[in-house]
Each structure stands twice: as structure tokens, then as C-alpha cells.
Chains A and B, each alone.
Chain A
């Protein structure tokens, strides 16, 4: 068949067109996400032969019970959750004014430069950025140099370092949706608010914030979920701090206990699902 006859054949057949368009991405998504996730879920209920270290298909809930009952996992879960929440809050605090400036104050040229500046770190390697922070946080680093005149010390490698580094890493993902959110607030509405007697601060609270709330939540999903699953940053700037990801990594690698690793990974997945369910009602998922 020639190209022309193929188009002639397809033109009136909308469903066939749709099927042709959607089959590859659906297959891809199905394989990569659904099947991989399902395999992980299933693995959590298998076991490991203690002698050979081989994964055995022998159904047990031991792994899941262990993860849910042992104090270690509870502590690490709470720590991970705390870090993720802190990172999210820090990112929002920094992102809102930056995004506001970009969307509402900067002139087009400046805005363009700022968008590039915000996105540029995403084009650099993750590891490079984290090692840069390792250098910053070190006892001879820039932070120590900057704060020592005030009698302070660098936070060094630990939870604070992890929170700072993760906040830095995910900031672009938080700024961009909030920037888009501010951009969708028409200037006319700000004028209308002023016209009706509201000062700048009142307008911000009564008009702008309610309108960009979904955008803020959308940004928070990135910071929160990415923090929840991270383990490399903790390894590099976390000192002895461990997050859930580190436990998963240790069990996949050193401990060679894939089923336990799978069981641990169910925790962040569960938390994210709860989080998404909670934000779904705010309409934030529609502004992603």
C-alpha cells in the first residue's frame, strides 16, 4: 500500500487511528510502570533461602510484618517523612516569592533569563550537584567560611545537610508549577482587588493565594515524593543518617534480601498514595 492509500484507508476509521496512536505508549507505560511495580509488590511476599541467598517463590508475610513492627523501620520512616516534609516546606517558602517575581514583576527579558536560571541546574548531573554540596558543607567549605565570623559552624554531614541539599535539588520542580500558577492569575484580578479597596497584602491573601494553592500543592508533590525516595544524597552528605531508600539499597546490595527491600519500599509508596489521595480533592493534580 502506498502512503496515500494508507491515509485513505485510515481517514474514516477514527478508532483505528486512535488505537494506532495509543498502543505504543500504553504498552510502554504498562510494561515499565505497572508490571515493574506489580513485580515489586509480589516480591515483597517471597522469601530468601538463607543458605544460598536465592530468592524463593514461597509465599510469606514475614517481610511485611517485620517492616511494620520493627522499631528500626518506624524510626527511619519517621525520619524520612520528617526530612521530606521539611524539604517541601523549605522549597515552598523559597519558591513562592521567586515564582511571584518571575511571573508578575520581572519584565519579559528578565523573566526569560530567570526561567533559564531556574531550569539550568536540572541539566547538570545529580551527582555533581550533591558533591558540590558536600564541598559546601565540609568543615573547610564555603558555609563554614561564611558563618564562622558569627560564631557559627557548618551543619556538616547529617540531617541538616540532607535537608539543605534535597531542598536545593528539588527547588526547580517546585518553582516551575508555582510560576505557572502565578502566570495564570490575570493582572486584571489584581487590579480589580485594588479597585475594590484591597491593599497589596490583602490581595495576596484573599485573591492570589487561593488561586495558586493548587500550583503550590502540585510543586509540593515533586519535593515530597522525590525526597521520600532519595538515598544517594543521604549517602553523600548525610553522614550516618539513613533514610528509607538507604535501607532498600542496603537490602538489595549488601544484605542481598530482595524481598525485604521490596517490603521496605512499600512504605514510601504507601505514603505517596495517601498524599496523592489527600491532595486529589484540592484540584492540584489538574494543575500539574
Chain B
């Protein structure tokens, strides 16, 4: 079977700036694929090259086995949900959703029926006659979704679609997006700088940095086995252990990253002694920073909040241990300072 989206040697430069560097990427049909990275890492440029808003400097974009590199956006079988929604302000909600169908020459009756169905799918029935400016951010987001899915695209491109929503609404929309993707069974390509969002939603995540994919894999791959320092610190939080510290903890002799929730304090046997430097109460858990004796290094541990019984305080003496399987060896970075 052909990939839903296949990028080969995709390269985009603006003047002297390389936005995307010779990228090869295959996104499979029916996959929820996230492109995660800090701003300016090239993820949005890749999405815009897939949609056709940007012409790559070189390289090809193929959708479902067809090379579309030279095709205009209107000729590509994908639709986009824009970060700022890009709803037509002079059209009502239903007219916004019907727009693509009207352009395609779909008859009035079918148009209306399909638009209403799409609005139902995003739970926005009853808002047909409103204008975009009369809607909340979350509702606009739903209109933008309905407007894109009503055309039954083979792949849906989403450019930070939840970026402008507040936290509660964002979490709710995440669930709905996932459900929608399952119900439609089409490829979703989701651009975000929010690692939580990418981990929660995706089948696979590509982490971008400086125009390149640094790591590509399932959320578990990326979170549990960050390849290098950038991933370890950008996706979730981790403590980076220098080779000497790794060795002291019995993990081997290279730099490692360890997630705070995999660090055990006061294990039954062994462990490196240290002093608690800071206890941060976050509600569901305690974040405990420990100064390791004689190593000049700190390590962070997470302990669930179980009430007073496991509370610790600054200055307490503890031992720190990390299971070898819980630490991820990091690739040496020749260009890292």
C-alpha cells in the first residue's frame, strides 16, 4: 500500500535560512501523526508544503502514491485546519462549512445535508446561522474542523489547532479530535509545540529541531528512549546524567537521561547517598531535587502525593537509585557545546 504522505528530500530555504533540511518522511493511511517541535523548527513549513501553500526548494511530496509537488492547494486531496481558524467572516457557520462543496459544484440539497452532518460530527448542530464573530474560540475551532472534514479529505492537516484555546477546552478538544480521527479513519497530520498534546494523541511522533526530524517513533519510544539531550529536555522533563554520574549510579559510562518518575528514593538496597535540596509540591505529586554526595550533580525524583505519610523536607538524607532499564543512553553530540 502507498503511504498517505511521502516526502522525499524535502528541502525549503528562505534566503539564507534553511527551514527544512532534506527531509524523508512516510505517514501511513489512517495514522494520527504529530510533528512536534519548538517554534521555528520547520514543522509548520513541512505541513504547508504538504498542503501546497509553500513550494519546496527541492524534493517531492506524494499523496497516496501520486506526486503532487507541482499541484496547487485546490488540486490536492487534503484539507487544512488553520491555527487561527481562518473562517470567512462574511459567511455564516453553515455557509463556511458548505464553501468547499459549493466550489466543487455539489447540489444545494446534498450540500446542506453534508454540512449539517459535519457540524453534527463536531457537536456544533444548532449554530448554522451564526457568524464566526459570534462564536467562542472553541466553537470556531469546531467550524474550522467541520469545514475541512465535510470534503472527506484523505488526510487532514492540523496546524496547532488547539494553540489558542485555554487548558480545559484544549484537553476536551484533544479527546474529541482523537475520537473524530478514529470515526473518520483518515490520516491526521498534527503540528504542535505542546509535547503533552503530541504524546496524548499520536500514533507516531516526529520531533523536529532546526529543520530536521531528530527522532521519529511512537510516543512511548520518544518519551522513554529520547535519543539525545534535545529530545530528553524538550519532550517531558528529565535529568541529564553526565557519564561520571551514570557510572556512580551503576548505569554504564555514557551520558544518560532519566525521567523523574523512574528515580527511586530510599530503595531497599544500594543507591547513591545525597541530600534533598528542594521539595516542590505540585498537587498530585512531590518533585524532589537531590544533591548527590561528592558528584556535584543533582537528580530530580517524583513521588506521588500520599498525604503526610511520604512527605519529605529539605535537608533530609536519602539514597537515590535508578533501574538500568529506566535510563536512556544519549547519543554523543559532536556539535553540542
Contacts and interface: CB of A to CB of B under 8 A. Distances in A.
B53 A191 contact: yes
Contacts of B104: 197
A188 B103 contact: no
Contacts, number: 62
Interface residues of B, number: 23
A93 B50 CA distance: 37
A149 to B, nearest CB: 42
A39 interface: no
Given A195-B74, A211-B90, A188 B100 contact: no
A211 B89 contact: yes
A195 B82 CA distance: 10
A10 B223 CA distance: 61
A188 B151 contact: no
B79 A194 contact: no
Contacts of A210: 90
A193 B51 CA distance: 12
A186 B88 CA distance: 10
B165 interface: no
Interface stretch (A70-78, A99-107, A120-128, A199-207): A199-207
B85 to A, nearest CB: 9
Contacts of B51: 191, 195
B187 to A, nearest CB: 16
A193 B86 CA distance: 9
B99 interface: yes
Contacts of A191: 51, 53, 73, 80, 82, 86
Interface in A176-201: 186, 188-189, 191-199
B84 interface: yes
B80 A192 contact: yes
B147 interface: yes
B99 A188 contact: no
Interface in B29-88: 51-53, 72-74, 79-80, 82, 84, 86-88
Nearest to B83: A188
B84 A196 contact: no
B86 A188 contact: yes
A192 B86 contact: yes
Contact of B84 (A188, A194, A197, A207): A188
B139 to A, nearest CB: 17
A118 B128 CA distance: 43
Interface residues of A, number: 17
B84 to A, nearest CB: 6
Nearest to A196: B100
B72 A186 contact: no
A186 B82 CA distance: 12
Nearest to A194: B73
A254 B151 CA distance: 71
B86 A194 contact: no
B99 A193 contact: yes
Contacts of A196: 74, 79, 99-100, 103, 147-148, 151
Q: Which of A194, A197, A202, A211 has the most C-beta atoms of chain B within 10 angstroms of its own C-beta?
A: A197
A2 to B, nearest CB: 48
Contacts of A211: 89-90
A196 B73 CA distance: 8
Interface string B81-121: 01010111110000000011011100000000000000000
A199 B86 contact: no
A91 to B, nearest CB: 24
A43 B148 CA distance: 64
Contacts of A186: 84, 86
A89 B114 CA distance: 41
Contacts of B99: 193, 196, 198, 206
Contacts of B74: 194-199
A81 to B, nearest CB: 31
Contacts of A206: 99, 102-103
Closest A-B pairs by Cβ, 4 of them: A196-B100, A192-B86, A188-B86, A194-B73
20 contacts: A188-B84, A191-B73, A191-B86, A192-B82, A192-B87, A192-B88, A193-B88, A194-B72, A195-B80, A195-B148, A196-B99, A196-B147, A196-B151, A197-B74, A198-B74, A202-B103, A206-B99, A207-B90, A210-B90, A211-B90
